[in-house]
Amino acid sequence: MADLLKGQLCLILGVANKWSLAYAIAEAFSREGAGLVLTYLGEQQRSSVESLCQNLNVVKLLACDVTKDDEITQMGVDLGALGRPLNTVVHSLAFANREDLSRPFVETQRDGFLLAQNVSAYSLVAVTRAVVPLMTEGGSILTMTYLGSTRVVQNYNVMGVAKAALEASVRYLANDLGPSKIRVNAISAGAVKTASARAIKDFPMLLSAMTDRSPFQRNTEPAEVADAAVFLASSLGRGVTGNVLFVDSGMHIIGI
Contact 189, 174 (CB under 8 A): no
**Residue 204 clears pLDDT 90, i.e. is over it:** no
Return the active site residues.
146, 156
* Within-domain flag for 170: yes
How far lies 152's CA from each of 34, 146, 158, 162, 188, in Å?
A: 37, 11, 11, 13, 15
In sequence order, what are the residues at sequence separation of 6 or more whose Cβ sits closer than 8 angstroms to the Cβ of residue 54?
Answer: none
8 Å CB contact between 132 and 80: no
Amino acid at 45: Q
Range of the domain at 38: 9-248
Is 44 inside any structural domain? yes
Residue 1 lies in a domain: no
Helices 157-177 and 123-131: crossing angle in degrees, nearest 10, is 30
3-state secondary structure at position 75: helix
Residue 167, domain member (yes or no): yes
* Domain annotation covers residue 253: no
pLDDT mean over 203-210: 68
In a domain, 254, yes or no: no
Centre a 10 Å sphere on the Cβ of residue 54 and count the other Cβ atoms it contains: 8
**pLDDT given at position 194:** 61
CATH classification of the domain holding 22: 3.40.50.720
- 3 lies in some domain: no
| Domain assignment present for 2 | no
Residue burial 14-42, b: 16+ Cβ < 10 Å; e: rest: bbbeeebbbbbbbbbbbbbebbbbbbbbe
The sheet with strand 182-189 has its strands ordered as 58-63, 35-40, 9-13, 88-91, 139-145, 182-189, 244-247
pLDDT in tens, 115-146: 999 999 999 999 999 999 999 999 999 999 99
CA dihedral of 222, 198, 161, 154, whole degrees rounded to 10: 110
The predicted model scores a pTM of 0.93
For residue 199, name the pLDDT band (cuts at 50, 70, 90): low
What confidence tens digit (pLDDT) does each residue in 84-110 have?
999 999 999 999 999 999 899 999 999
Domain count, the chain: 1
